[in-house]
Amino acid sequence: MTFTSPSLDYIALMPMIIVFAGAIIGVIVEAFVRGSMRRFVQSLLTPATLLIALFQVIANRDVVTPTAAVNSVIIDGPAHLAQGVILILSLIGLLFILDVDSFAPQAAALPGSEEEKRAIAVGRQQTEVFPLLLFSVAGMMLFTASSDLITLFVALEVLSLPLYLMAGLSRKRRLFSQESALKYFLLGAYSSAFFIFGAAFVYGFAGSVNFSAIREAVVGGYANDVILLIGIVFISVGLLFKVGAVPFHAWTPDVYQGAPTPITGFMAAVTKVAAFVAMLRIFYTVFDGNVWQWQPILTGVAIITMIVGSVVAIAQRDVKRMLAYSSIAHAGFLLTGVIAFNKSGLESTLFYLFVYGVATLGAFGIITLIQDSQGEVTDLNRWAGLGKRSPVIASLFTLFLLSFAGIPLTSGFIGKFSIFSAAYEGGVTSVVIVGVLTSAIAAFFYIRVVVLMFFQDPSDSTVSVTLPTLRSSIGVWSAAIVTVALGVLPTSTLSFITDLAIFAR
């Protein structure tokens, strides 16, 4: 056996390298920069890292190499698109993370302890969130570009571990936040175990963890199909957990509610991109030989996800929980794009991920602004009459809700149209019909929030809208502009996606 030294295509890997490097520098900053200066340094370093990486992705857009890092990383159009979307969404999300004091003064201190009081007294705020965010982003970028199961697993852990931590960093209601982080961590660990278990089965089937080798084995079909199927199912469990599809959704409402709101927005928007693109890559380029096996399973999951997400959302009285269930329903809609199993499915899923992510960030960004003396107000009853007090904020929130509901002239409508037509084209009419019917159910709870905000009188005067700072304003308004622009004139974005969305093998 000869040993060849690994060849790395540094240009193709550059965006990920930049983000990893930024994250590591961020850790060094935490260690060596004075406490009072850390926040300032991080608030420059983090967006700069993301921006440079984004420019590098744009510069790299024509690079296609299936062997960017030996056989472990594949750089192609969908990877560029996904990485670009992840970076753009992270930048918008970062605006909210930078903005309000959502994070615990000292995460290691017990809630209510003397240590914590001291930390509050000196005005500290945990700034580790920034390098954590960068690590998570880097992991997500790698997740969309992995081309073997081990790299995929490593990327999954790199993106997940910072998320578990960040979920527990809330400044207000700290116990609640820590509880949600623990839940997320335990269930996430289980799902990772499932994933690696499935990877082992697939390895047993194909004799390799490399995507193209697995694909050959699947197409050749010379091994035991049952083992392959078990492998596919367990790998799917790991991925479906990350997107919050039913029946692996149980963590979503608790974690969304407990995590600091800017982090919730980040999780809802960006994690979905990474997980879905990885899912698309696996199902479209690795297991495409036995589509007849996984398609019915995913169809079942998609249908039940859409139904549970939209029906249970009706009963929610907390805006973050409601959006959590709405995100579950959207995971179901996004799954229809995977099930479609055609090029339109890939294109429409990418488009949907982007527009859903933008609207989600905008919506969670607005939630950070609705406050009383105790902090954010997420009880929907107390949102009553918001339209009277701050019509602009309420109108923007309505816009995002209308986009979630898929009303024409918002980006959500174009997304829904394209993803459902891809599924119809792929011959899975059942998901289209269920999708359309659940959209009607979902419309109900979105409209109910609109009614609350605009048609009901304020129930208590303690709730107020904090004036958005410049950063939050930029975040919310850019999300709103993208939502309208891609609803009215989506052409250039769509054709951009169409040109790039071709998986290399």
Partner 1 sequence: MSMITVLGLLPLVGVLALTFLKRDNVLAAKQVALATSVLVALAGIFMAVQFESDRPGFQFTESREWIPAFGINYSVGVDGISLLLILLAVILVPIVILAGWDESEGGRWSAKTFYILILVLETMMIGVFAATDVFLFYVFFEAMLIPVYFLIGGYGTGERIAAAVKFLLYSLFGGLLMLASIIGLYVLSGDQIGRTFDITKLSQLQMSSTTENLLFLGFFIAFAIKAPLWPVHTWLPDAARSATPGTSVLLLGVLDKVGTFGMIRYCLEIFPNASKTFTPLIITLAVISIIYGAFLAIGQKEILRLIAFTSISHFGFIVMGIFAMTSQGHSGANLYMINHGFSTAALFLISGWMIKRRGSGTIADFGGLQRVTPVLAWSFFIAGLSGLALPGLSSFVSEFLVLVGTYTRYPVAAVIGTLGIILAALYILIPVQRALHGPTTPGNENLPDMNLREKIAIAPVMVAIIALGFYPKPALDVINPVAKATITKAGFTDPAPTIKEGGER
The site for partner 1 (CB under 8 A) is made up of 402, 405-409, 413-414, 416-418, 420-421, 424-425, 432-433, 436-437, 439-440, 443-444, 447-448, 451, 454-456, 489-491, 494-495, 498
In the complex, what is the shortest distance from the CB of residue 321 to partner 1, in angstroms, rounded to a whole number? 21
Amino acid at 91: L
For residue 100, give the DSSP letter. Answer: S
Nearer to partner 1 (CB atom), residue 36 or residue 429 = 429
d(CA 332, CA 438): 10
- Nearest distance from C-beta of residue 430 to partner 1, angstroms: 11
Q: Which residues contact 416 (CB under 8 A, 6 or more apart)?
A: 333, 352, 406, 435, 439
Nearer to partner 1, 8 or 450 (CB): 450
Beta bridge partners of 464: 371
Among residues 197 and 424, whose Cβ is nearest to partner 1?
A: 424
DSSP state of 457: -
In the complex, least distance from residue 138 CB atom to partner 1, rounded to whole angstroms: 32
| Closest CB to partner 1 among residues 112, 408 | 408
Whether residue 364 contacts residue 412, with contact meaning beta carbons closer than 8 Å, is answered with no
**What whole-number distance in Å separates Cα of residue 314 and Cα of residue 358?**
23
Query: With respect to partner 1, which residue has the nearer C-beta, 265 or 435?
Result: 435
**Where are the alpha helices (H) located in 72-148, listed in sequence order?**
77-99, 114-121, 129-145
H or E segment to which residue 370 belongs: strand 370-372
Extract the tokens encoding 352: 């949907």
458 preceded by a cis bond (ω within 30 of 0): no
Provide, rounded to whole angstroms, the least separation between the CB of residue 502 and partner 1.
16
Query: Whole-number minimum distance, CB 440 to partner 1, in Å?
Result: 4
Minimal distance, residue 350 CB to partner 1, in Å:
13
Q: How far is the CB of 435 from partner 1 (least distance, A)?
A: 8
C-alpha 323/C-alpha 114 separation (Å) is 35
| Nearest distance, CB of residue 415 and partner 1, angstroms | 12
User: What pairing do the DSSP bridges indicate for beta strands 73-75 and 65-69?
Assistant: antiparallel
- Please state the closest distance from residue 447 (CB atom) to partner 1, in A: 6
The one-letter code for the residue type at 208 is S
Shortest distance, CB of residue 485 to partner 1, whole angstroms?
13
Q: Is 317 exposed, middle or buried (0-12, 13-18, 19+ CB in 10 A)?
A: exposed
CB nearer to partner 1: pick between 203 and 445:
445
- The C-alpha angle with vertex 220 and arms to 218 and 224, in degrees rounded to 5, equals 60
Distance CA 70, CA 101 (A): 43
Q: Do 408 and 312 touch, CB atoms closer than 8 A?
A: no
Q: By C-beta, is 207 or 427 nearer to partner 1?
A: 427
Residue (318 or 425) nearer to partner 1, CB: 425
CA 325 to chain CA centroid, nearest Å: 14
Measured in Å, how far apart are the chain's first and last C-alpha atoms?
A: 26
Nearer to partner 1 among residue 190 and residue 417 (C-beta):
417
Q: Which is nearer to partner 1, 19 or 500 (CB)?
A: 500
Find the helix or strand (DSSP H, E) in which 74 lies. strand 73-75
